[in-house]
Structure 1
Amino acid sequence: MYKLLGGLQAYFKVQDIHIDNVLFRLHNVFTTVLLLACSLIITATQYVGRPIQCIVSGLPSHVINTFCWITSTFTMPDAFNRQYVPGKHVAHPGVANDFDDEDAKKYYTYYQWVCFVLFFQAIMCYTPKFLWDAFEGGLMRTIVMGLNATLCEEKEKTAKKEILLDYLLQHKKSHKMYAFRYWACELLCLINIILQLWMMDSFFNGEFLSYGLRVMNLADEPQENRVDPMIYIFPRITKCVFHKYGASGSIQKHDSLCILPLNIVNEKTYIFIWFWYIILAILLSLLVIYRLVIIFVPEVRPRLLRARNKMLSREMAKSLAKKCDVGDWWLLYMLGRNMDPFIYTEVVSELTKRMDSDNPPIRSPKLDAPDGKQSA
């Protein structure tokens, strides 16, 4: 198992420079690794193990197994409601005589595609990170210049601080696109989760969105009234019909019972994915609302600067937030995450002083006194 999944640990390398937040990484890194791991496990089970085993008399079992896997199997939905005493009402949940009623059958073909769909979902989850890395272009690492470490020679530290201050002053009010592109990537994460929930619901014929709720409600049901939703969506035993010509040329029908051990893995995989996606959708929705507050309520920005670095005074944070637009404020906020707190405080203090000196207060013009003399 380690050899199979060991390559995914590269995604969890500790970053010395952070250009995003925790939720962004949960969506782009953790969820991507989760989906890739599930895809690899299901692929290994599907192509290395025995994903289907069918019981039929008079025919080679490997022929029926291959046929039923590459075509489809089916259940009788009505038989799930009669599963309370297996072996009496029905042989197994969902398994009953079809009486050649094609409309009453429910076919399952998704299990061939699960590993590919999970891999495609992983690509979709990684896309916002790929876009943000391309947009960001290493700007944060470039302007931090190693000031995230306290152990630095005073001469070198002073020179780097001067370069950083020059950059911030020369490129004042030019970082709006930097901030809005990142926030757009966060919004893309939310859109991706909602889109994937809809896609998985379509993939499972409208059964996925309520999947987790039905599993939770199962615990409250009496034992004799339980209809396991995991068995309904991921049946463990299904039916398959194989036709062949007999000795006289007539068509013979072979009704086989198929066991799908792969669905034991599928049902546990997708119940975890369901809960994880619902939690992510809620958290990302709150994050988008939080970003809207930052954009449209400037009064919260000084408080967030102080929350990032307690050594900043309220007056300094207010003055800085007032003189910067939302793009510059976001850059300073992210610098607070990546720089040493003492160095960051020194940089912000010097930046505030230089901004004040560049914008001297405007004096009121002298007014003429009523007697014709100018007032002082």
Structure 2
Amino acid sequence: MLKILGGLKDFLKAEEIVIDGPIFRFHNVFTAVMLFTCSIILTATQLVGTPIQCIVDGLPTHPVNTFCWIMSTFTMPTAFSKRVGIEVAHPGVANEYQFDDDNHNQYDATKKYYTYYQWVCFVLFFQGVACYFPKWLWDNCEGGLMKTLVMGLNHYVYTEKEKKSKKQIIINYVLQHLKKHRMYAVRYWCCEFLCVVNIFMQMYAMNRFFDGEFMDYGFKVMQLSDEIQEKRMDPMIYIFPRITKCTFYKYGPSGTMQTHDSLCVLPLNIINEKAYILIWFWFVTLACILSLLMVYRLSLIIFPSLRPRLLKITRKIASRQDANIIAYNLDVADWWVLYMLGKNLDPIIYNEIVVDLAKRLEGSNTPVIHR
């Protein structure tokens, strides 16, 4: 397992050529690695450890454990609010048959069945694949354009002649391909939007997977500390119970149906509850950040005045006038390609390219807007 987990570190290695944004990588790389890690740990625990251990009198333990793991276990929701050790043996574990005021035996049919713990490791794996998919898609759509344009200028190791030649190639490329990068930018922004769709779809799917208990899972956990110890119901135990019940049926020697009521311990849920509280907080945070990113992208498209400010602040452009000339004489897609180049080129070389490009744009027949 450690060898497999060690292999995941390759996903987290910094790329020599940056072709996307940090939030994009948080969603595609960090989140995918986190989900894959949880999946591997839970899978190893299921295969190597003991995911369920049932207590039943008069029957061999192994068949009952296997049956209850495959067919699911259950709790009594009404028993979660009762006092442990006085009214119930464990949270959610109570007698199915209760007595009314006239001492008549009544059957409580309200049960909460748990089958999803078998599938958690698989669901986490496919969630990781879904998170990594936008990056895989963008890597294939990008076509190596950024790597081609950089030409090794991310390292300041070239002679002045070589550096000047490569800078000229980049400037000529930008001027000769004006308004030809729209599909490049649109594909990347679509991949970013796909991240937003993915994170909300996954939260919705997890909520369905846990019978509507996931959306407010984190809020309930945070509110737990404000409640009285004797009256509070732990939401982690409610969704991932550590002790459950299981009913095993068999025929007796004479062919009569026999019912065996067993108490099952689920140590795997200790890991599940911690993993999903982490996933809940991370997904909620990521959903908020990605939503703000979409607003930010739309602002760049709708308000051109933001582009020179962003270029000057994040790329340390020395001259405000050069930043204005660049931003207002390139459409948003061409500006985006030049902006991404700034993430890869040596800062000194990049500033020299921007100054030369601004002079070429100002001296060309292209109308220049000074603001």
What interval of TM-score do these two structures reach, taking the shorter chain for normalisation? Answer: over 0.9
Contact persistence 1:308–1:337 (CA under 8 A): no
Question: Which residue identity lines up with residue 235 of structure 1 in the other structure?
Answer: P
Shift of 1:253: 0.3
Q: State the 1:103 CA deviation.
A: 3.6
**C-alpha distance in 2, partners of 1:185/1:294?**
17
Partner of 1:217: 223
- Greater Cα offset, 56-65 or 302-311: 302-311
> CA offsets, 1:261-292, max 9 Å, x none?
00000000000000000000011111110001
Shift in CA distance, 303/64, structure 1 to aligned 2, threshold 3 Å? same
Cα distance, 1:177 vs structure 2: 1.4
Task: Map 1:91-170; keep pairs closer than 5 Å.
Answer: 91-99=89-97, 101=107, 103-170=109-176
Q: Which runs of 5+ in 2 are unaligned?
A: 98-105
Residue pairs, 1:1-376, within 5 angstroms: 2-82=2-82, 84=83, 86-99=84-97, 101=107, 103-359=109-365
Q: CA–CA distance in 2 between the matches of 1:171 and 1:101?
A: 77
Contact 1:240 1:257 in 2 (8 A): yes
Inter-partner Cα distance in structure 2 for 1:182 and 1:190: 13
Task: Out of 305-314 and 215-224, give the one that drifted further.
Answer: 305-314
Contact 1:74 1:239 (8 Å CA) reproduced: yes
CA distance in 2, matches of 1:341, 1:223: 58
Taking structure 1 as the reference length, the TM-score comes to: 0.93
Question: Are the counterparts in 1 of residues 242 and 266 from structure 2 also a CA contact under 8 Å?
Answer: yes
Q: Which is greater in Rg? A: 1
For the 8 Å contact 1:75–1:106, the answer to whether it is kept is yes
- For 1:294 and 1:7, how far apart are their aligned partners in 2? 38
| Residues 18 and 338, structure 1, Cα contact 8 Å, conserved in 2 | yes
**Paired residues of 2:51 and 2:268 also in contact (CA < 8 A):** yes
CA distance in 1: counterparts of 2:134 and 2:365, whole angstroms: 39
Q: Percent identity?
A: 61
Deviates more, 1:339-348 or 1:24-33: 339-348
Deviates more, 1:96-105 or 1:164-173: 96-105
TM-score normalised by length of structure 2: 0.94
Residue 373 of structure 1 corresponds to none
| Aligned partner letter, 1:244 | K
Distance 2:146 2:4 in 1: 35
Aligned amino acid, residue 252 of structure 2 = G
- Alpha-carbon separation, structure 1, partners of 2:246 and 2:4: 33
Cα shift at 1:101: 4.5
Secondary structure, counterpart of 2:250 in structure 1: strand
Which amino acid counterpart does residue 33 of structure 1 have in structure 2?
A: V
Counterpart-to-counterpart distance in 1, 2:194 and 2:136 = 12
TM-aligned CA distance change 1:347 to 1:297, over 3 Å: same
Q: Secondary structure of 2:260's match?
A: strand
**Per-residue deviation, residues 39-73 of structure 1 (Å, max 9, x unmatched):** 00000001111000000011100010000001010
**Offset, 1:104:** 0.6
Deviation of 1:337 (Å): 1.2
Residues 19, 360 of structure 1: alpha-carbon distance in 2 compared, 3 angstrom cutoff: closer
**Alpha-carbon distance between aligned partners in 2 of 1:359 and 1:312, rounded to the nearest angstrom:** 25
Residues 325, 361 of structure 2: 8 Å contact kept: no
Distance (whole Å) between structure 2 residues aligned to residue 56 and residue 361 of structure 1 = 85
Q: State the alpha-carbon separation in 1 of the partners of residues 108 and 365 from structure 2.
A: 81
Name stretches of at least 5 consecutive residues in structure 1 with no aligned partner. Answer: 363-376
Distance in structure 1 (CA, Å) of the matches to 2:356 and 2:55: 79
Q: CA RMSD in A?
A: 1.4
Distance 1:53 1:280 in 2: 37
